[in-house]
Amino acid sequence: MKGFHILIFLSLVQFGYSQQDMSHYSEVFGRDKPYRIFLPESYQDTERSYPVIYYFHGNKGSHKLTMDGVAEWVNANDIIIVAWNGKSVPEDIRPYNIGFHSNINYEEQFKDYFLELVEHIDTNYRTQDRRESRGVIGHSMGGIMSFFLAGKYPHMISASANSKGSPEFFIGYPDNHTLYSVRYLFKNLLGVRLKFYNSTEGELVHLNKEVHNGAIREKELKYEYEIAEGGHQLQPELFNDALNFIASSFKQPLSKPERWHHADLYADFDVWGYSVRSNKKTPGFIELSDVTQGGFEIATRGWLPLGDPLENVELSIATAGIYTPDTEYNLLDYNKSNESGKVRTIKSDHLGKINLDVDYKNRVFGIFQEGGPAEIVSVDYLVNGEGHFLQHNEVSQLKLKLLNRGGSDAENVKVTLSTENEDVKIKNKVVNLKGLESTETEWIDADFLITAENKPVIDGSPFRVLFNIRMEDENGNTWTDEIDIPVFYDVPVFTNIGIDDGDSEIFGSGNGNNIAEPGERIMIYEVSHRSRLYYDDPYVKKETLHIDLQPDKWGDGYAASSLLRISEDCPPGHQIRFLANYEEKEWKTIRRNVYWGTFTITVGANE
């Protein structure tokens, strides 16, 4: 390490304090990795420590950031800039080992290299080694990396700027990678200041409107959006604006959220002091939500949002050290799949962590001592007493099921419902619950009356309605939660339905007679379009998604279609009603055009 410092000193004396091309040995990649670092002129004259901004280049780029004015900006702001190299091997043109299936070729992951590079920079330069003084900026493929890494490590990064980033890519290992769609993952970024730049023309304009529409649903997100004149390139004035945004964020960093969420596509991960280890070997997510000192919810999902569970996954969870060490607590374990809960005692370890082993099923945990504060979360809902879809342009009655996962009873609870969607009207925004005992669940007696007048989305923007829930008891204690509810749109009927139950020998499996029958796996077409399906039926037991790369210019924006299994015990003649969509994508601008319809199939009938 001393030799490294001498090498830097000689290099800086020779070339001056500004732009320097350096390298370090990477354990992740097993070779030297280059980077370009910009140090303020004041670095050589003081012993001060400096904030750091990391820059992630786009496709065909490298660490050799050549934007005009960078050295001058660094000197004016007293901030270090580090530009990394995103090539898995030196001869790569495409960076970061992300994209479609064919683009993921290496076991080495840039989420691991980011940690290594940060440690190297903080060890060998005078940096302010804390999240409040660390930001990231990326352009294009580097743009998705800036949001991805800030969302994976929100405990390490205080601000992230994304310039015209790719909207969704597969990320992970060659034999196990998952579609990461930015528009569904903004909850990971709570606690991080964000800025997202779109353009007025070029390949990603329309897909990045979808990303923006995903961001503005999240009420608590600290998010700015700007449309920059021009095409996909990174203009000097935009880069300068992004630098200024990060610098201003350093002056007003966000605190760690008191309540946070995190969805991760890797089997093992660490976030906000929590550690999750698992045997997950298939694509999908592990999702932590509603995380507070009072507990958390955990689920496995094949995709986001609201994908089916990943069966046979076992998880070990260690909380942050936020509990009294070596102390017994009550642990409420509420299984959402069978609506049952049980309470047992558990002891924190010497570091104040709670350690749990759980399976793949969706569980809510409460951690409390006798007489500890109440804590209320939402665990289920019903529309019109039976389903999970809001009816379009009609009054729907929404009933909530609440769980008190805390140690005390809550009395006279006021529940307030809201949404950022202006086309969804809530007639009575407040309902009351007389009380909710510790560890118990309760359906609220009164219903919220909701009229969903929102039109179906015409692109890939999130179509469900996100509702925010605020709960307050008579003592002034407050809790928040949210639910994501689909609308069964009043749209035309699809009349040219085809069922693949094995005849294609590619997707469905069954007897191949084009009739949906018990036990078969089916894909449903509207004419020649594979369809994405939404339903609320007990006899559809398992769904998987087939992801297509439709013809386009760059390979961004994917089309998902549903593969469903009809339960073996589904009675012949049973009717299943679907809301469905399919998409067509324009090649040059990569505009995603989504078409909606409804239809009904009768199990065992040739219709």
DSSP string for residues in 68-127: TTHHHHHHHHT-EEEEE---SSTT-SS-TT-BSGGG---S--HHHHHHHHHHHHHHHS-B
Q: What pLDDT shows up at residue 3?
A: 34
**Residue entry with tokens 């006021």:** 414
Residue 10: the pLDDT is 35
pLDDT attached to residue 607 = 60
Half-sphere exposure at residue 508, Cβ-oriented, CA atoms within 13 angstroms: 26
As to burial, measured by CB atoms within 10 angstroms (0-12 exposed, 13-18 middle, 19+ buried), residue 157 is: buried
Reference 72, options 147, 152, 17; nearest CA is 17
pLDDT value at residue 554: 77
Q: What is the model's pLDDT at position 585? A: 87
SS3 399: strand
Longest dimension (CA), the chain: 83
Q: What is the pTM of this model?
A: 0.95
| Helices and strands: H and E segment counts in the chain | 6, 39
List, run by run, the mean pLDDT of 10-residue segments along the chain (607 residues).
37 57 98 98 94 97 95 97 97 96 97 98 98 98 98 98 97 98 98 98 95 96 97 96 98 96 98 98 98 98 95 97 98 95 97 97 96 97 96 98 97 96 96 96 95 97 97 96 98 96 90 95 94 96 90 82 96 97 87 96 85
Rounded to 10°, the helix 70-77/236-251 angle is 20
Residues 52, 63: Cα–Cα separation, whole Å: 16
8 Å CB contact between 563 and 593: no
